[in-house]
Chains A and B, each alone.
Chain A
Amino acid sequence: MGRELLDLVFPRIGHARRIGITGPPGSGKSTLVHAVAMLLRRRGQRVAVLAVDPTSPFSGGAILGDRVRMPGAAGDEGFFVRSMASRGSLGGVAATTHEASEVLDAAGFDWILIETVGVGQSELEIVELADTVVLVLVPESGDAVQVMKAGIMEIADVFVINKYDREGGDRLMRDISVTMQITQWSRPEGWVPPICPTVATSDEGIEQVLAEAERHLAWLQEDRPRLERFRAEKLRRRLQMLLSRILLERAWKAAQIDEQLDGAVERIMAGDLSPYRWVAGIELG
């Protein structure tokens, strides 16, 4: 996206509420996003969805299939869906998802729902991007210990246990709430994440998810200094990220890495050089 456009857009952002939806592959994120979006549409709100699916590391291509679950976006001016490929970014969203959300915000959408790729362990960038993060688990996600081990429990402002029509939903629900109690779980500064059971395919529990997200958004607004602090933290991390992207690119070019790479591989394979010595010897131009 053009830098000039983003420059123009920047002063116009801040209206939209940004909800991140994350969780393991196949947990029902897209189905839930669609259900929440339809509910918002019934309330007359304009909704944009950014749905991220993984880029294949082998071909660089991607099959973006989230839209299959979002039929309501066709023929409705107030419901926009854009699929994005992660393009090698490891944070669970694409490098440009943040920029895209700013453009949609400036375009006047009231809500932006951002679906990440299925989380494994490290795809946590959604925290930077969203005001509220909804973590979608399913009975098959195992017990709370597994969820904690994966390190994704920490990012949830709202827990959803989807596919509650399946066996084991109430067990996981109990398990998470007990774990939260005994570890005195809370997000920074005292927010205690609620747990919502849902069946996204039949619209059950969707109102509660939206209500809890709205409650979290209201909680964020309620303490001005805290909100400013959160925003400053996020902005600082965002600047670091933008900068590291540009610096990497510039330094790579300045040091003429592409020109040297083949030669280095050859010498290292021939045993003339170690990888560590080569890396240490790079001059940044």
Chain B
Amino acid sequence: MEEKIRVLVAKPGLDGHDRGAKVVASAFRDAGFEVIYTGLHQTPEMIVDAAIQEDVDILSISVLSGAHMTIFPRVLELLRAQGAEGIHVIGGGVIPRADARRLKELGVGEIFGPGTPTSEGVAYVRKWVAARHETQA
């Protein structure tokens, strides 16, 4: 059977709504991915625990609150601490270019700014999973 791509879509922080995360989740679903949705107000600890229990390929985090420079590094650190660095982190939200560059240096796969078509995220995930399969083969 064909391997399904599993993605956890998380919305950390205390800021209001999760419309953006829901848009991303449905785009991934429509692309044939299995999307685990965990709801609002998740801490990095909760997100990483969920990603490990759910054995996802991709962890997609949207941050609007401006706390991206604490949340992403913390998530990466927790993943490493639990030996789960195989889970690939991507992100979205209002993130200045310089910060995005820094986050990618730290290990975030890609950052999608506001207004990026969801198809770009889908294409990125497909490509990453395909590349991983190749290195494993």
Contact = CB atoms under 8 A, between A and B. Distances in A.
Contact of A74 (B30, B32, B34, B46): B46
Contacts of A58: 30
A80 B35 contact: no
Interface of B is mostly: mixed
Interface string A63-74: 111011001011
Chain A: interface secondary structure?
mixed
Nearest to A79: B53
A23 B45 CA distance: 32
Contact of A61 (B33, B46, B53): B33
B72 to A, nearest CB: 18
Contacts of A60: 4, 32
Contact of A64 (B32, B36, B42, B43): B36
Interface residues of B, number: 24
B53 A73 contact: yes
Contact of B36 (A59, A67, A71, A74): A67
A52 to B, nearest CB: 12
Interface in A123-146: none
A159 B29 CA distance: 33
Interface in A67-91: 67-68, 71, 73-75, 80-83, 85, 87
A65 B29 contact: no
Interface of B: 4, 25-26, 28-39, 42-43, 45-46, 49-50, 53-55
Considering the complex of A and B, which 10 residue pairs feature the smallest CB-CB distances, nearest first? A74-B46, A68-B39, A61-B29, A60-B32, A74-B49, A61-B32, A65-B37, A64-B36, A59-B30, A85-B34
